[in-house]
């Protein structure tokens, strides 16, 4: 058994017993995230030369499925850190040394990175104003998952007013910096333990050396294509793991009920067959896309569209699995919170990661017509 698999199993073992409690309380999944940090999983994508495991995206996807079967919030919180590290490692392997300090901090100091790209995406609203030696940045970052455990914020700010064509800075900011504060705002229907609170930047000084890249406001350009190359497989694997855990749970319960009652109905048998079909389709989509991409792909628009189509399939499969699993589980799952209810609600978060399933179809259609 390889080290990444062992990491995932250990995290799942630590997180699983607390998943329902954190869901009920809306509290941060401390046990799973601390284990992920302490054993080295969060540093796994760091190149071996810098103290990590050199894990690539496909290995992390396998691990995310294992973690998320036990606790979706732990899986999603970890995904928002590890995809940033995967992208930074990709840059480092190509000679981009500006990311090396961050990678070394993740490996040596077990630093946790909080990313905000899913909310900022093409059009961040935080504003960077030039000053001597750097910038002053102000703005609010929402959906900052894993923030209760974070030490570094990887985010974006637009130079001047947000507008088409404006320059956007990619910046790294210590969460302990003057003017940075965490506001505990997260109270959602699902993925309640991710700690996806708001982070507010109030006139925060950012030195020029903290700028890790530049892009254009309103455009899906190379930095976002690179982030997507690693984010969407990892995030999709997380939701696939939740769906697998849900199906395992409801099928085991139905199997036990059938043994005690001596049979089951054709309608229920069909529903379980549908759950199996949806899971298989989602797995084929994820691993088919990873196979097409190869071990070390480039951040191209073609690859972006491929991954968005994959994510759409996994997302819609998860929504259908949640619906059917609720019917198979029966009224007991609806009447009180517990593992089945928790996982169904966790799956409801998937469509909110950009792009939405409908936006993906529009993009794919326009791409095909432009060919």
Return the exposure string of 266-286: e unless at least 16 CB atoms fall within 10 Å of the residue's CB, then b. Answer: eebeebbebbeebbeebbebb
Instruction: With a cut of 70, say whether residue 45 has pLDDT above it.
Output: yes
**Domain ranges for the chain:** 3-111, 114-216, 222-370
Look at residue 371 in the predicted model and tell me its pLDDT. 80
Identify the bridge partners of residue 181 per DSSP, sorted by sequence position. Answer: 200
Q: Region 136-149: what's the mean pLDDT?
A: 97
Instruction: With a cut of 80, say whether residue 335 has pLDDT above it.
Output: no
Look at residue 295 in the predicted model and tell me its pLDDT. 86
Instruction: With a cut of 80, say whether residue 223 has pLDDT above it.
Output: yes
Distance separating alpha carbons of residues 158 and 127, to the nearest angstrom: 5
Look at residue 1 in the predicted model and tell me its pLDDT. 59
Name the average pLDDT for the chain. Answer: 95
What Cα–Cα distance (Å) separates residue 41 from each residue in 9, 46, 191?
A: 11, 10, 20
Instruction: With a cut of 90, say whether residue 337 has pLDDT above it.
Output: no
Look at residues 251, 205, 232 and name the one whose alpha carbon lies nearest to residue 308. 232
Instruction: With a cut of 90, say whether residue 333 has pLDDT above it.
Output: no
Look at residue 90 in the predicted model and tell me its pLDDT. 98
Domain 3-111: assigned CATH number: 1.10.540.10
More confident residue, 296 or 287: 287
The continuous run of DSSP H or E covering 155 comes out as strand 152-159
C-beta of residue 26 within 8 angstroms of C-beta of residue 186: yes
Pick one of 3.40.630.30, 2.60.40.10, 1.20.140.10, 1.10.10.10 as the CATH number of 222-370.
Answer: 1.20.140.10
Three-state SS for 185? coil
What are φ and ψ of residue 221, in 5° steps?
A: -105, -170
C-beta of residue 289 within 8 angstroms of C-beta of residue 218: no
Look at residue 262 in the predicted model and tell me its pLDDT. 63
Distance separating alpha carbons of residues 346 and 261, to the nearest angstrom: 31
Sign, Cα dihedral of 215, 219, 222, 226: positive
Look at residue 259 in the predicted model and tell me its pLDDT. 74
Q: What is the CA radius of gyration of the chain?
A: 21
Q: Region 298-322: what's the mean pLDDT?
A: 98
CA triplet 240, 244, 249: central angle to 5 degrees? 150
Dump pLDDT digits (tens) for 22-35: 999 999 999 999 99
Q: Which CATH architecture has domain 114-216?
A: Beta Barrel (2.40)
Sign, Cα dihedral of 355, 359, 360, 363: negative
The continuous run of DSSP H or E covering 172 comes out as strand 167-174
CA triplet 299, 150, 94: central angle to 5 degrees? 25
Dump pLDDT digits (tens) for 255-292: 888 777 666 789 999 999 999 999 999 999 999 999 99
Q: Region 102-129: what's the mean pLDDT?
A: 93
Look at residue 336 in the predicted model and tell me its pLDDT. 67
- In this prediction the pTM is 0.96
Q: Chain-centre distance of CA 54, in angstroms?
A: 19
């Amino acid at each position: 058994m390889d080290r990444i698999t062992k990491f995932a199993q250990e995290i799942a073992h630590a997180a699983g017993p607390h998943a329902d409690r954190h869901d009920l309380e809306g509290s941060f999944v401390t046990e799973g995230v601390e284990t992920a940090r302490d054993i080295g999983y969060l540093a796994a994508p760091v190149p071996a030369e810098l103290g990590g495991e050199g894990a690539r995206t496909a290995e992390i996807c396998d691990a995310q499925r294992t973690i998320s079967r036990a606790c979706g919030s732990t899986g999603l919180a970890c995904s928002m850190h590890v995809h940033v590290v995967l992208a930074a490692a990709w840059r480092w392997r190509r000679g981009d040394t500006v990311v090396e300090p961050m990678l070394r901090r993740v490996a040596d100091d077990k630093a946790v990175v909080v990313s905000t790209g899913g909310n900022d995406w093409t059009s961040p609203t935080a504003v960077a104003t030039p000053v001597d030696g750097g910038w002053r940045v102000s703005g609010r970052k929402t959906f900052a998952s894993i923030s209760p455990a974070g030490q570094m914020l990887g985010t974006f700010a637009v130079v001047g007013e947000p507008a088409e064509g404006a320059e956007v800075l990619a910046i790294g900011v210590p969460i302990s910096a003057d003017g940075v504060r965490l506001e505990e705002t997260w109270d959602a229907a699902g993925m309640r333990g991710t700690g996806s609170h708001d982070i507010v930047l109030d006139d925060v000084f950012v030195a020029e050396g903290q700028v890790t890249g530049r892009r254009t406001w309103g455009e899906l350009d190379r930095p976002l294509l690179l982030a997507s190359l690693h984010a969407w497989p990892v995030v999709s694997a997380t939701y696939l793991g939740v769906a697998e855990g849900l199906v395992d749970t409801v099928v085991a319960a139905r199997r036990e009920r059938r043994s005690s009652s001596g049979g089951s109905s054709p309608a229920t048998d069909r529903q379980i067959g549908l759950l199996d079909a949806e899971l298989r389709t989602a797995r084929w989509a994820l691993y088919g896309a990873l196979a097409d991409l190869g071990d070390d792909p480039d951040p191209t628009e073609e690859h972006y569209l491929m991954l968005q189509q994959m994510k759409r399939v996994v997302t819609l499969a998860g929504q259908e699995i949640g619906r059917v699993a609720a019917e198979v589980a029966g009224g007991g799952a609806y009447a009180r919170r517990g593992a089945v209810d928790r996982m169904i609600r966790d799956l409801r978060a998937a469509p909110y990661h950009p792009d939405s399933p409908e936006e993906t179809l529009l993009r794919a259609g326009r791409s095909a017509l432009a060919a």
